[in-house]
Amino acid sequence: AQSVTQPDIHITVSEGASLELRCNYSYGATPYLFWYVQSPGQGLQLLLKYFSGDTLVQGIKGFEAEFKRSQSSFNLRKPSVHWSDAAEYFCAVGVAGNNRKLIWGLGTSLAVNP
Amino acid sequence: KAGVTQTPRYLIKTRGQQVTLSCSPISGHRSVSWYQQTPGQGLQFLFEYFSETQRNKGNFPGRFSGRQFSNSRSEMNVSTLELGDSALYLCASSDRGGGGANVLTFGAGSRLTVL
């Protein structure tokens, strides 16, 4: 069965520190991969996506993610975190075919210390 | 371009009542998806509509229903509310149907509290 795992429920980093949020998926084919961010009281906003091609993708707000097929991972990174990055981050996998849909991870809550 | 608009933003109901939530997608988007978000369950897919047709449905009881109008606006209805229906209901629109490869634009959500 398809699934998405975000192993870290909550992460706290200091402002200016680097960040890596993990995402692992289970899917039989090459998936469509997404990272969304949700600020408090808001809906979700797309950070970046991977469909094909270069496995390192750049997104908005200085975020990037790398697709590693051998590890079934799509980890999100940022070299220097800003206080405004405090939010909930969701990884999602797009499933193609007749039952096409998005499968979501449970999210990682990011806190940023000043 | 206006974003996805959800109304109402907040509402309080009592058990047994029903509720209707509205979603206006981005102009030109014909696909609308609905999600239920709770702290313990994350984002749970409710259903997706494309050009007034339900294209996909999640694992929710029949108390949860939806529809889409010819102008792509969508409504979802929950009847006979239960305490467990308290959640943030998110609507997302896309310019294509199909779910898997779609980039979704989300509204800010409707926060439902059932007492």
Reported as a single tens digit per residue, the pLDDT across B6-41 is: 999 999 999 999 999 999 999 999 999 999 999 878
Say if residue A46 is exposed, middle or buried (CB neighbours under 10 Å; 0-12, 13-18, 19+): middle
pLDDT value at A100 more than 90? no
CB B30 within 8 A of CB B95: yes
Q: Decide which of A65 and B1 is more confident.
A: A65
Q: Residue range B2-6: average pLDDT?
A: 92
Give the per-residue pLDDT at B97: 64
CA distance B82 to chain A (A): 23
> CA nearest B91 in A: which residue?
A43
pLDDT value at A99 more than 90? no
Reported as a single tens digit per residue, the pLDDT across A31-78 is: 899 999 999 888 899 999 999 889 999 999 999 999 999 999 999 999
Give the per-residue pLDDT at B5: 97
Give the span between the Cα atoms of A65 and A34, in whole angstroms. Answer: 9
Is B54 within 8 Å of chain A by CB?
no
Pick from A49, A99, A104: CB nearest B43: A104
CB B39 within 8 A of CB B58: no
Q: Which residues are bridge partners to A35 per DSSP?
A: A48, A91
Mutation choice for A interface testing from B49, B94, B106 by most A CBs within 10 A: B106
Q: Residue range A19-30: average pLDDT?
A: 91
